[in-house]
Amino acid sequence: MSQLPLGPDSRTETLRRLQPLLVQRFGHIRRAAAERRAPEWTLVQGVIGARTKSEISNAATDRLLTRFKTWEGVAEAPIDELHDALATQTYPNVAAERLKASLTDLVARRGSVDLSHLETMATEAAMDWLEQLPGVGRKIAAGVMNASTLDRPVLVLDSHHRRILQRMGLVPAKADTARAYAAIMPVMPPEWRAADYDEHHLLMKKVGQTWCRPARPDCANCVAQSLCATGRGENPKATAAAR
């Protein structure tokens, strides 16, 4: 017996309705074309950026290139010099070790710190390739593909963004980043371009920093309350399970 088509997923419309609410509250957050960095820069920024504000990691990434001249110079630098160069990061020792491991492996694979081959690869294949590098998971891979000059329509999920999606009931409540990504990507509005994905992520970070904090979310004042299972007093686990 043939099955009837299930029709569009309601989560797509939720995301469409959510975006203008966030823009109305926070204004547009759009990355100008001139602000998009090379994929190699974006990779380094992602690898060293754990638990550190973006502007601090951005400055540290620029300092690395100024100090060591090339990314190959960064890869070859003694680990204690990398520790010193990354002193502003929340976990400088961890950042230095992960960066050296990822860049060393990239040089071994490509002969230099070069990601130009990703330009001709399909997005998912490129992300899978990036995730073979030490210290690179789905979040960093998505960042390289979306926020760099590669400009691909993929969603970056940090802890803020994933937490909000879980509380809204849009992804499974206990999903890690990779599973949350797999759950939400198929229902992203098909008309959204790479810049829309980027802006959506930056806006959702604002929500996570403003209302949807890890402890005691301020649902009553959140602009997304009407679209959120938690905000409506529902069980987000049950909402996600019903998908």
Options 3.60.15.10, 3.10.20.30, 3.30.70.141, 1.10.1670.10; CATH of 10-31+156-241: 1.10.1670.10
In DSSP notation, 197-216 reads HHHHHHHHHHHHHHTS-SSS
Q: Residues in the chain, how many?
A: 243
Mean pLDDT for the stretch of residues 150-166: 96
Q: What is the pTM of this model?
A: 0.91
Quote the CA–CA distance of 240 and 243 in Å, as a whole number: 6
Which fold does the domain 37-147 belong to in CATH?
Answer: Endonuclease III; domain 1 (1.10.340)
Q: What is the mean pLDDT of residues 154-161?
A: 95
Burial class (CB in 10 A: 0-12, 13-18, 19+), 41: buried
pLDDT band at residue 2 under the 50/70/90 scheme = very low
> Would you say residue 234 has pLDDT above 90?
no
pLDDT tens for each residue of 25-36: 999 998 877 778
191: CB partners within 8 A, 6+ apart: none
Helix (H, G, I), strand (E, B) or coil at 52: coil
Band of residue 238 on the pLDDT scale cut at 50, 70, 90: low
> Would you kindly state where each structural domain of the chain is located, as residue ranges?
10-31+156-241, 37-147
Judge whether residue 3 has pLDDT over 80: no
Number of Cβ within 10 Å of residue 181's Cβ equals 23
